[in-house]
């Protein structure tokens, strides 16, 4: 479903993503982790067609990104970390816009919007987006993606700004969609979420992938037998001794 081959992105002399290879199958929840500035968002932007890679190839839904960009975009859903959506539209106008852009205008989708609004407790669709809080906008974006039931969903820090109930509903919904065959690609700094939800995890640091596998496989890589994901992540991306010494100096 998602395949990245030798993916590289350079901004001038700076290499944000370096020769990255990824493969995510249908029905899988894939966690993409890394410290700040590791290249997670740049990777997602390339996989969703927002940024063009300097080198490498991307295949989504079996289609090459270079040749089928629009077709791929029609089949995927993207939830960015920042819910940047048209502030001069009302909530329901934005949903109408998305329905039109994705050429979906049947009674089924309207019914689904109502169901999702009930689930996420959205009763502010007549409000201007400019007047909505971060969490309200994030829920609106989630609905605009989930209403379409795309086969591949990319989520960059999806729970930021969501209340506990909405975050829980989202997590359960993503699991349900994966069981139904959808591919979920998510980044998060909340390692507990990744540990509980993801079937497989990749860790990226300074633009390069440093580990990939299931939780059990990751533990075996460095012989971190009894570690949880947070301890493992820190071992791979920073030195525990370094953190200890920084805290002591403070």
Partner 1 sequence: MREFLILLKYGMAFSHAPRRGKKRVSLYSYIVPAAVIGLVAFYTTRSTFSTLSQVDPLAPKIFINFWTTLLSMFFIVGFIGLSINSFTLNEEIEFLLNLPIRRTVLLFYQIFVSTLTQFFALFLYIGIYASYTMVSNNSFLVLFKGIMQLIFMISLASILTILIGKRIKKATVRKIVMVINIVTPFLIFLLIGSNESITKNAMGESGILRYIAFSFSNYNFLTWAIKDGIFPIISLVISIIFVVSFVFLSKDVEFSQSESKSGKTKDFKLMGSGVPIKAIYIKDIKTALRIDQFIFFIIYPVAFGIFMAVMNNDIFTAIFASMPVIIIYVAIESAILTAKEYLYIETVKTYPISLGKILMPKIIIPTTLNTIILLVEFIIFSFLKGLQFKFFIFLPISFVLLIMNSLMGAYQTVKNPPKTENISRVLGFGSIMLVEGITLGSVFAVIFPLMKLFANDFESTIQRYLVGYLLPIATLIACLMYSRYLYLKLIGYHESQ
Site track 53-92 with partner 1 (rule: CB under 8 A), x = hit: -----------------xx-xx-x-x-x---xxxxxx--x
Nearer to partner 1, 99 or 170 (CB): 99
CB of 112 to partner 1, least distance (A): 11
Please give the DSSP secondary-structure letter assigned to residue 128.
B
Query: Is 105 an interacting residue with respect to partner 1 (CB under 8 A)?
Result: yes
Tokens of 203: 């860790």
Nearer to partner 1, 52 or 244 (CB): 52
Please give the DSSP secondary-structure letter assigned to residue 245.
H
Binding span for partner 1 by CB under 8 A among 55-63, 123-131, 216-224, 231-239:
123-131
Query: Is 173 an interacting residue with respect to partner 1 (CB under 8 A)?
Result: no
**How do 2-11 and 55-60 pair as beta strands?**
antiparallel
Q: Which of residues 136-165 bind partner 1 (CB under 8 A)?
A: 141
Site size toward partner 1, by CB under 8 A: 41
- The owner of tokens 């979920």 is 184
Secondary structure class of 121 (helix, strand, coil): coil
Q: Which of 134, 151, 141, 140 is nearest to 26 (CA)?
A: 151
Give, in degrees to the nearest 5, the angle at Cα 100 between 98 and 106: 105
CB of 109 to partner 1, least distance (A): 9
CB of 195 to partner 1, least distance (A): 28
| Contacts of residue 223, Cβ cutoff 8 Å, sequence gap at least 6 | none
Give, in degrees to the nearest 5, the angle at Cα 212 between 219 and 188: 95
Nearer to partner 1, 97 or 224 (CB): 97
What is the C-alpha separation between 17 and 41, in angstroms, rounded? Answer: 10
Residue of 97, 149, 175, 237 that binds partner 1 (CB under 8 A): 97
Query: Is 243 an interacting residue with respect to partner 1 (CB under 8 A)?
Result: no
What is the C-alpha separation between 211 and 233, in angstroms, rounded? Answer: 10
Nearer to partner 1, 22 or 117 (CB): 117
State the residues that interact with partner 1 by CB under 8 A: 45, 48-52, 70-71, 73-74, 76, 78, 80, 84-89, 92-93, 95-97, 99-105, 110, 113, 123-127, 130-131, 141
């Amino acid at each position: 479903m998602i395949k990245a081959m030798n993916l590289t992105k350079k901004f001038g002399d700076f290499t944000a993503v370096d020769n990255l290879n990824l493969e995510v199958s249908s029905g899988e929840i894939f966690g993409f982790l890394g410290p700040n500035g590791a290249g997670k968002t740049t990777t997602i932007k390339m996989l969703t067609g927002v940024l063009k890679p300097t080198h490498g190839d991307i295949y989504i839904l079996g289609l090459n990104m270079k040749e089928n960009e629009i077709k791929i975009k029609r089949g995927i859903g993207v939830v960015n970390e920042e819910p940047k959506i048209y502030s001069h539209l009302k909530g329901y106008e934005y949903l109408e816009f998305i329905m039109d852009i994705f050429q979906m205008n049947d009674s089924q989708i309207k019914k689904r919007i109502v169901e999702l609004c009930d689930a996420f407790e959205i009763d502010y669709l007549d409000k201007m987006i400019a007047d909505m809080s971060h969490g309200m906008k994030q829920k609106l974006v989630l609905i605009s993606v989930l209403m379409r039931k795309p086969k591949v969903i990319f989520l960059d820090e999806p729970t930021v700004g969501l209340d506990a109930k909405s975050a829980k509903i989202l997590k359960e919904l993503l699991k349900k969609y994966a069981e139904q065959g959808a591919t979920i690609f998510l980044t998060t700094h909340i390692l507990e979420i990744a540990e509980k939800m993801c079937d497989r995890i990749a860790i990226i640091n300074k633009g390069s992938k440093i580990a990939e596998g299931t939780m059990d496989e990751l533990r075996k890589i460095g012989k971190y037998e009894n570690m949880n994901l947070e301890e493992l992540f820190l071992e791979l991306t920073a030195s525990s001794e370094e953190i200890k010494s920084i805290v002591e100096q403070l």
